[in-house]
């Protein structure tokens, strides 16, 4: 089992994508990349803690590779949007890959470079690739939010 952590805007829809992916064993939403210890959703929403909304997941590399997870990550959001996705604006909604090993860092950098060179986007990819720090689990009502609130979450 391996771990991966991605930030791609609001964590609800991103978690649902990975939660329903074969080979992903466990997901949790929370916060990473900031300065405040054990931040709350309310604190993160101010943009002052430095955290991004993330999905932290455990996966079976015999079923799905880290590269395949990255493919899903890239497809889920616009990686050329600096600090916003759709209606969500602020540094907490930035695009980021938080790597857990040197191998993940290398794969993420190669994946980003390949996508940038593909001319899929007219603007450069702004996704940060950063070493994973402490993961702070979000409040329970955020966990599996889309699954729990399907009628209200169409389109996520």
What confidence tens digit (pLDDT) does each residue in 133-142 have?
A: 999 999 999 9
Helix-strand-coil split of the chain, %, nearest 5 = 35, 25, 40
pLDDT score recorded for residue 153: 59
pLDDT score recorded for residue 87: 87
Higher pLDDT residue, 87 or 14?
14
CA distance linking residue 58 with residue 69, whole number of Å: 11
pLDDT score recorded for residue 6: 98
CATH of the domain at 80: 3.30.1060.10
What is the separation of C-alpha 143 from the centre of its chain, rounded to a whole number of angstroms? 14
pLDDT digits (tens, 9 = 90+) for 65-74: 999 999 999 9
- The number of distinct structural domains making up the chain is 1
pLDDT score recorded for residue 138: 97
What is the separation of C-alpha 67 from the centre of its chain, rounded to a whole number of angstroms? 14
Mean predicted confidence (pLDDT) in 145-150: 87
pLDDT digits (tens, 9 = 90+) for 38-47: 999 999 999 9
Q: Which domain holds residue 146?
A: 2-153
The confidence band for 156, taking pLDDT boundaries of 50, 70 and 90, is: low
What is the rounded average pLDDT for all residues in the chain? 94
**Helix runs in 50-153, H state only:** 66-76, 102-117, 145-148
Res 152 pLDDT > 90:
no
The fraction of the chain above a pLDDT of 90, given in percent, is 87
DSSP state of 39: -
pLDDT score recorded for residue 136: 98
pLDDT digits (tens, 9 = 90+) for 23-38: 999 999 999 999 999 9
CA distance linking residue 20 with residue 88, whole number of Å: 23
* Residues recognised as catalytic: 10
44 and 34 in contact (C-beta within 8 Å)?
yes
């Amino acid at each position: 089992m391996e771990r991966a952590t991605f930030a791609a805007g609001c964590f609800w829809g991103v978690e649902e994508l990975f939660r329903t992916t074969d080979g992903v064993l466990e997901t949790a939403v929370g916060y990473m990349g900031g300065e405040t210890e054990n931040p709350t959703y309310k604190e993160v929403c101010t943009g002052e803690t430095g955290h991004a909304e993330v999905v932290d997941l455990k996966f079976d590399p015999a079923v799905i590779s880290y590269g395949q997870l990255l493919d899903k990550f890239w497809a889920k959001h616009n990686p050329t949007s600096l600090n916003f996705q759709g209606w969500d604006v602020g540094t907490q909604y930035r695009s980021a890959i938080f790597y857990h090993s040197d191998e993940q860092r290398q794969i993420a950098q190669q994946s980003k470079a390949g996508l940038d060179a593909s001319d899929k986007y007219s603007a450069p990819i702004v996704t940060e690739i950063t070493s994973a720090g402490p993961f702070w689990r979000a409040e329970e009502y955020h966990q599996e939010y889309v699954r729990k609130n399907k009628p209200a979450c169409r389109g996520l």
